[in-house]
Amino acid sequence: MTRGPVQNGRGSTLTFGLEVEFFAAMKETTFNRFPNTTLSSLLGDRLRPVRLHGPNGTGVGIRVEGEDDECFQNGSIDYSFWNLTTDKTVAPNYPDWFECYETQPIEIISPPYPVYSPLWEHDIQRIFTSRSGQYNPIPYRELRMYCEQNSTTGLHVHIGNGTTPNSVFPFHTVRNLAMILLVYEPELDKLLDTSPSWNRMLNEPVRCITSVNNPHFQPPILPRGSPRPVMALHLLNTCPDIRTIIDVLNPRLPSISRSTNPLYFKYNFTPLLDSVDAPILPENHIGDNNVRPKRKPPTVEFRQQPGTLDPDTMVHWIRFLGALVDFSGKIGLQPLIEFLGLEEWRLDTAPPNKGPGTEGLGNPNYTQHISTYSAASPPSLSAFSLLSGLQPVGSLSRLLTAMETAHISLDPDTTRFWRRKVGTDSPHIPA
């Protein structure tokens, strides 16, 4: 990948954490040459000699679950290291193929890096690159290790607002991000790897699901098949705080919690509950052992991207997500309404529902309203208003142009990478 210029976040406090899942296997005849070890330990041994910058440029170490148990107490992880752990949700597509293999589902977890820093890009390239002789890759040829990506693996990115437990996002950032994701989800889906070769690898549906199928956006609350701008407007009108946004986007559904192969929302806002529920305890706090301080800063987790070991995809995806969250925090409410096309919709009060126990209750009714202007009252000529006439609502081109208008730093290589993925020649009408 061609390295772009150093990103400048203009004092941004945004951070990210990376989680990479894959299924690893090695022939038993080869594995038996390494006594008293595991596959993750072998990978850890290969990665430790690699010089990594770390979040602060002072270096960072590698920790392996089972070798460094003091860092994995009570299910917690020391996030000042790159960690190799076991992920019980990862499985091979065809288990029968591995009867004579040593296997292990592995997850690699990064420490939190500042989004607008070149250090994390260098570290990801050094850990995950497969170009022989340049760095020390995970699928190292001397190990003869097989690494599988399938529908049980994922690439998860946590975006936070700092590295301390009280580094919370402002409400307007969370609300704006949720509204943007509701409208732009169909276009963001196009950024995923949907090639025929990838689809042939999958023997079951991908586990990530959408939030728009939640009860808050379904009858009787909203009509079936409501346009996405209407869903975003409904969230704006009904969610006054972070907790209600989480309840709307990530409700606890029985079909999800009881599943043996759990499903995940593409956009997971539940880690933000740390900023709402968990107490902020001082570092020298001594008290009830059952009262645990927050383990890590509150974040928004993006689970949409399928599992991959390609460092270029990781770098471009993290750059894009960082810019998206940055944009959500900087755009004002009125420009956001124009950007999402919400000014075309008007909220009316629906007649009361008929039936026992529903007296006086009514559901929201959104009707489309096209504004007309006279010569004495011309339309607004703001940059976001002009976008509506140039690029359709819900298109990647509109989103990238809006980011540029808001002076959000996005590397040109990343912009070209995602434009090629989506294709910007044909107009897109959001579902």
The DSSP bridge pattern shows strands 82-86 and 62-64 to be parallel
Structure tokens at 244: 């209600």
Beta bridge partners of 319: none
One-letter amino acid at 120 equals W
Question: Cα(144)–Cα(30) distance, rounded to whole angstroms?
Answer: 8
DSSP annotation string for 187-216: HHHTTS---HHHHHH-SS--SEE-GGGSGG
pLDDT of residue 20: 96
Question: Cα(277)–Cα(243) distance, rounded to whole angstroms?
Answer: 9
**φ and ψ at residue 209, rounded to 5 degrees:** -125, 165
The DSSP bridge pattern shows strands 15-27 and 264-265 to be unpaired
pLDDT of residue 363: 73
Strand residues in 155-268 grouped as ranges (E) = 155-160, 208-209, 264-265, 267-268
* Cis amide linkage into residue 220, ω under 30° from 0: yes
Question: Cα(156)–Cα(198) distance, rounded to whole angstroms?
Answer: 18
Length reported for the chain: 431
pLDDT of residue 421: 86
C-alpha to C-alpha distances, 278 to 257, 300, 398, nearest whole angstrom: 22, 16, 38
Residues 6 or more apart whose CB falls under 8 angstroms from that of 54 comprise 60, 111, 119, 123
Per-residue tens of pLDDT for the chain, all 431 residues: 544 444 556 678 999 999 999 999 999 999 999 888 999 999 999 899 889 999 999 999 999 988 766 655 555 688 899 999 999 889 998 999 999 999 999 999 999 999 999 999 999 999 998 554 444 556 556 678 888 988 889 999 999 999 877 788 999 999 999 999 999 999 999 988 655 444 445 555 567 889 998 999 999 999 999 999 999 999 999 999 999 999 999 998 665 544 556 678 999 999 998 655 655 545 444 444 444 444 468 999 999 888 899 999 999 999 999 999 999 999 999 999 999 999 888 877 554 444 444 333 457 788 886 654 444 444 455 666 666 668 899 999 999 999 998 899 899 999 999 999 887 544 443 44
pLDDT of residue 293: 41
pLDDT of residue 255: 53
Give the position of tokens 């939640």.
Answer: 214
Strand residues in 10-100 grouped as ranges (E) = 15-27, 62-64, 82-86
Question: Cα(100)–Cα(169) distance, rounded to whole angstroms?
Answer: 49
pLDDT of residue 260: 55
Question: Cα(115)–Cα(161) distance, rounded to whole angstroms?
Answer: 10
374 secondary structure, DSSP code = B
Map residue 306 onto helix, strand or coil: strand
C-alpha to C-alpha distances, 411 to 118, 278, 346, 403, 414, nearest whole angstrom: 11, 36, 38, 12, 5
Question: Cα(174)–Cα(341) distance, rounded to whole angstroms?
Answer: 19
344 secondary structure, DSSP code = G
pLDDT of residue 287: 42
Question: Cα(140)–Cα(39) distance, rounded to whole angstroms?
Answer: 12
pLDDT of residue 280: 52
CA angle 60, 65, 70 (to 5 degrees): 80
Structure tokens at 199: 């689809």
CB-CB contact of 364 with 237 (8 Å): yes
Structure tokens at 19: 């989680």
C-alpha to C-alpha distances, 64 to 130, 144, 326, nearest whole angstrom: 21, 20, 33
